[in-house]
Amino acid sequence: MTNRLALRIAVFGGFGVVLFAILFFRLWQLQVLDGDTYLAEAKNNRTREYRVGAPRGEILDRDGEVLVGNRTSLALQINPRKLPADPRERRAELSQLAELTHSTLRSVRRRMREELKLAPAAPVTLRRDVGNYLVYYLQENQERFPGVEVQRVFVRDYPDETLAAHVLGAVGEVSEEDLEEARYRELQPGDEVGQDGVEYAYDEILRGKPGLTRIQVDALGQPTPGGQLVSQPPAPGRSLKLSIDADVQAAGEAGLAAYGSGGFVTMDVDTGELIAVGSSPTFDPELLTPPLTQKQVDETIRNPAQPLVNRAVSGLYPTGSTFKIVPALAALENGVITPSEPIYDNGSITVGGQRFQNAGGEAYGSVSMVRALQVSSDVYFYELGLDMWDSGDLQRTAHMLGFGRETGIDLPGDIEGLLPTQRWRNELYAEGETDRPWSAGDNIQLATGQGDLQASPLQMAVAYAALGNGGAVVTPHVGKEVTDAFGRVLKEFTPPPRRQIQIDPEYRSVILEGLHDAAQTPGGTSYEIFGNFPVPVAGKTGTAQRIGQADQSWYLILAPYPDPKIVTAVTIEEGGFGAEAAAPIALDILEAYFNKQSTGAAGPNGGSPG
């Protein structure tokens, strides 16, 4: 053997020894150092985990009647692991699915991309509530749709259809943006959450916890016989009892629907429990579960009538003469006038060259506060507004009663509105956003609920409730109790008043007397509606001017008089005089409420009828 050959053999031999050493070390690392890790990964490849959706808790009215329940539905899902590996075959299957579900290939792929980004192993829910025809078709053609599955899921059921829709709200799949919020941290794409109303406000209570199923699969990802490893059933959401009375709610909605757009509120004056809250036009919550058809989008989301807006809570309007209790209270409490002090009403007053007159040009002669409220003398309240135009007494009283600030209601859409003040207008004037500073005319207009004032029916109800209960500005709320599956009460909602204001009992009595005479004494503004009502009440009409629209109709009523238990506020857009549109709806609501009390049903405080 030559020296060169021996060198070559030595080199190749050494190279082989090095390779063998590297291979041996790698095998030792895989088997010894990383063995446990790869064993765990291998076991994971043999198992699949699936989340099992939990049924949401029921929503009940104050008598325990179901307003929102659950029903089972068939959901069309895509399992990406079972889709064809070939891109052309995969595209063909997804295109057929898009056509069958009245969608597009682009939207299907976008939905898959969004859900798989956050939960790669979970099936993608393409559509809920699929019809039996589509299910049968997919089952008969399973070989053409290997990645498609149909699962039974829970969906919301509304036995009374649109009843209290704005209170209840709707549910929908959690969005990618929602998943970034702390309240949705434990959720995954495809999970349902509340989108509005109490479904949103009390979502954590109603939602429940999903279950978990873990199964063993073969190399092709198919379940093996007896391969179920873990089955943790879902925990249903807890039930929520509302303060809403379905019968009173139905009466208000029926009356409101006959007149058009508007809203109403009926509330317990002592506790703030909302007995009925309605808005028109309304919507069907069941139709808002995605994916929506173009027709559903046009009828709800893009409808210029804005049926999704809760006008009772978020609608802002000038209030007309229903606001007059505020200057009445402000003038009495600040010594501007006494209850018996008369003001001569000759039909109008002129201030700074501008004439302010009564509606219809009526003149009522010498009137004190009770008479002024009974006939709704604008001149009387013009004079009060003029006397307080520079002191801010009117605005301070209004602000304490809740105008220009949120009510604290447990529903989305709570809004401040606008309480015009001298400082507010003067700042706008300094910034060039208005053509004049604050003037006496602004306060004169405000004293009759006109001008720049913007308030909601809920804010009006809160203000009247404070008058009715003697000074407590209540926190309006619809949540009453949380119960478990056995009906046991887990939590009660009793929010304290927002604040307490000082109201002299004598002044309260005078204002309520004027409202009572307005409703049930001949010559009162709503006597034709409530003159023969068997329960003593205290009510006030309101007719507000709105630029570019017909007059806004208002009615506020406290019952029974003189120690009211409930307040009702009704407003109708372009409804004309308060006694023509809003007052008849209030009558329907009170008839439903007191008829139910007379049958022995529980009163709003849970005790005997008031």
Domains located in the chain, CATH noted: 48-242 (3.90.1310.10), 246-598 (3.40.710.10)
- How much is the pLDDT for 329? 98
Residue 539, classed as helix, strand or coil, is strand
Is 336 within 8 Å of 384 (Cβ atoms)? yes
With cut-offs at 50, 70 and 90, classify the pLDDT of residue 610.
Answer: very low
| Whether the bond into 80 is cis, omega within 30 of 0 | no
What value does the mean pLDDT of the chain take? 87
pLDDT in tens, 115-143: 666 555 567 777 777 777 787 777 777 77
Average pLDDT over every residue of 543-557: 94
Greater pLDDT, 373 or 39: 373
Q: What is the pTM of this model?
A: 0.83
Taking the CA atoms of 384, 390, 391 and 395 in sequence, report the sign of the dihedral they define. positive
- How much is the pLDDT for 301? 74
Q: Which of 100-104, 237-241, 265-269, 536-540 shows the lowest per-residue confidence on average (mean pLDDT)?
A: 100-104
- How much is the pLDDT for 120? 58
pLDDT in tens, 408-449: 999 999 999 999 999 999 999 999 999 999 999 999 999 999
Is 442 within 8 Å of 306 (Cβ atoms)? no
In angstroms, rounded to a whole number, what is the distance separating the alpha carbons of residues 89 and 92?
5
Q: Which of 82-91, 199-208, 270-279 shows the lowest per-residue confidence on average (mean pLDDT)?
A: 82-91
With cut-offs at 50, 70 and 90, classify the pLDDT of residue 37.
Answer: low
Q: Could you tell me the CA-to-CA distances from 83 to 48, 74, 151, 188, 283 in Å, in that order?
A: 16, 20, 17, 22, 39
**% of the chain residues with pLDDT over 90:** 58
- How much is the pLDDT for 89? 81
- How much is the pLDDT for 607? 37
Is 213 within 8 Å of 52 (Cβ atoms)? yes
- As given in the structure block, the two tokens for residue 355 are 């004439």
CA angle 345, 347, 351 (to 5 degrees): 90
In angstroms, rounded to a whole number, what is the distance separating the alpha carbons of residues 204 and 245?
24
pLDDT in tens, 335-386: 999 999 999 999 999 998 999 999 888 999 999 999 999 999 999 999 999 9
Q: How many helices (H) and strands (E) does the chain have?
A: 21, 23
In angstroms, rounded to a whole number, what is the distance separating the alpha carbons of residues 51 and 204?
18
- Given a cut of 60, whether residue 291 has pLDDT beyond it is no
Residue 74, classed as helix, strand or coil, is strand
CA angle 251, 254, 260 (to 5 degrees): 135
- How much is the pLDDT for 173? 79
Average pLDDT over every residue of 570-596: 95
- How much is the pLDDT for 603? 46
